[in-house]
């Protein structure tokens, strides 16, 4: 039975790239009831007489990015804009937490539109201090595009980030792909969605995944106890607190809070942790009342 990778899923059709061809497939009924199939999934398919196929079996996944749903990614490129739209530290941390939670491999931060100045250095400092590599690029001028190509080569990389930051423009600059691009609304300062579905695009012995942008992230499904694990700069201090377990919020003699006070953990990152923690607690309380 041929094996392949789901390149795109659209309107109940799954486009599966096998070793020899791209096959348009549908799902067996049992998949619709038991589990989803997502772009990036490796599957076994049955071929039909008309050249189409049926997905017969889902092969084990190495990872599943939770939003957007893309399987078997080993690198996430979180893309923000230096300006238009301006990046917010809390939104940057939300995306970083989402990527960590999804266990999707290496996380790289890309700041596009550096030709506009803006907050590029601020985002770079915030992310590098937390341990993430950062690329400063401009799809318009070509700054940093070669370094971005080298980062993508040989990986299955998901481009994720808010709308309007120029993900499609970056892909066009890196790989010469004719992707639709949009502009940022002058009224609301947010980008229009130009990518409709997640799709794997072959590139340099790997794939790049263009995904629909989104401007709001809800992380309330994360277990409260797991949240500190998703802030890598906190890890050296977790377990050193006076109380165990410690939520690193209100407890005295908290090693994490002491690290913040000494400048070892950035205040903006700790504030983001506190905001997400409160959202998780509020959601859990509401669920308990139901």
Going by C-alpha positions, the residue among 188, 108, 95 that lies closest to residue 144 is 108
Which of 126-140, 213-227, 231-245 is predicted least confidently? Answer: 213-227
**Lowest mean pLDDT across 99-103, 174-178, 180-184:** 180-184
For residues 127 and 99, give the distance between their C-alpha atoms in angstroms, rounded to a whole number: 13
Nearest to 147 by CA among 121, 173, 115: 173
Task: Render 173-207 in DSSP notation, one character per residue.
Answer: HHH--------B-TTT--BPP---S-EEEEETTEE
Q: Nearest 5°: phi and psi at 270?
A: -65, -40
Burial class (CB in 10 A: 0-12, 13-18, 19+), 172: middle
**pLDDT at 119 (0 to 100):** 84
6's CB contacts (< 8 A; 6+ apart) are: 14, 15, 16, 37, 38, 39, 40, 41, 42, 43, 71, 200
Half-sphere exposure of 104 (CA within 13 A, CB side): 32
Q: How confident is the model at residue 211 (pLDDT cuts 50, 70, 90)?
A: low
Mean pLDDT of 41-70: 89
Give dist(CA 20, CA 2) in Å, integer.
9
| Gap between the Cα atoms of 201 and 91, Å rounded | 27
d(CA 25, CA 46): 9
Choose the weakest-confidence range: 33-37, 191-195, 196-200, 219-223: 191-195
What is the pTM assigned to this prediction?
0.82
Are the C-beta atoms of 54 and 13 separated by less than 8 Å?
no
Surface-to-core class of residue 234, CB atoms within 10 Å of its CB (0-12 exposed, 13-18 middle, 19+ buried): buried
Judging by DSSP bridges, how do beta strands 206-210 and 156-160 pair with one another? parallel
What does the block give as tokens for 219? 């992380």
Where residue 181 falls among pLDDT bands split at 50, 70, 90?
very low
Between residues 168 and 90, which one has the greater pLDDT?
90
Q: Nearest CA to 1 among 61, 64, 37, 54? A: 54
Among 12-26, 108-122, 150-164, 166-180, the range scoring the smallest mean pLDDT is: 166-180
């Amino acid at each position: 039975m041929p094996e392949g990778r789901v390149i795109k899923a659209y309107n109940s059709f799954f486009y599966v790239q096998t070793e020899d061809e791209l096959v348009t497939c549908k799902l067996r009924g049992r998949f619709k009831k038991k589990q989803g199939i997502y772009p990036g999934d490796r599957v076994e398919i049955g071929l039909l007489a008309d050249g189409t196929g049926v997905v017969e079996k889902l092969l084990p996944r190495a990872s599943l990015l939770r939003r957007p749903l893309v399987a078997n990614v080993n690198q996430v490129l979180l893309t923000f804009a230096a300006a238009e739209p301006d990046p917010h530290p809390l939104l940057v941390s939300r995306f970083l937490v989402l990527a960590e939670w999804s266990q999707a491999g290496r996380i790289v931060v890309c700041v596009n539109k550096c030709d506009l100045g803006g907050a590029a250095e601020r985002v770079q400092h915030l992310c590098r201090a937390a341990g993430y590599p950062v690329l400063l690029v401009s799809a318009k001028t070509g700054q940093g595009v070669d370094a971005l190509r080298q980062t993508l080569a040989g990986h299955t990389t998901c481009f994720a980030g808010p709308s309007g930051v120029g993900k499609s423009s970056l892909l066009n600059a890196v790989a010469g792909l004719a992707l639709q691009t949009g502009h940022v609304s002058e009224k609301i300062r947010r980008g229009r969605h130009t990518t409709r579905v997640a799709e794997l695009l072959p590139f340099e012995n790997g794939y790049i995944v263009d995904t629909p942008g989104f401007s709001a992230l809800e992380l309330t499904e994360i277990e409260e106890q797991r949240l500190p694990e998703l802030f890598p700069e906190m890890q050296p201090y977790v377990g050193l607190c006076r109380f165990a377990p410690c939520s690193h919020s209100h407890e005295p003699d908290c090693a994490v809070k002491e690290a913040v006070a000494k400048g070892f953990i950035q205040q903006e990152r700790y504030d983001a942790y506190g905001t997400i923690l409160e959202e998780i607690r509020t959601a859990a309380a509401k669920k308990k009342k139901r």
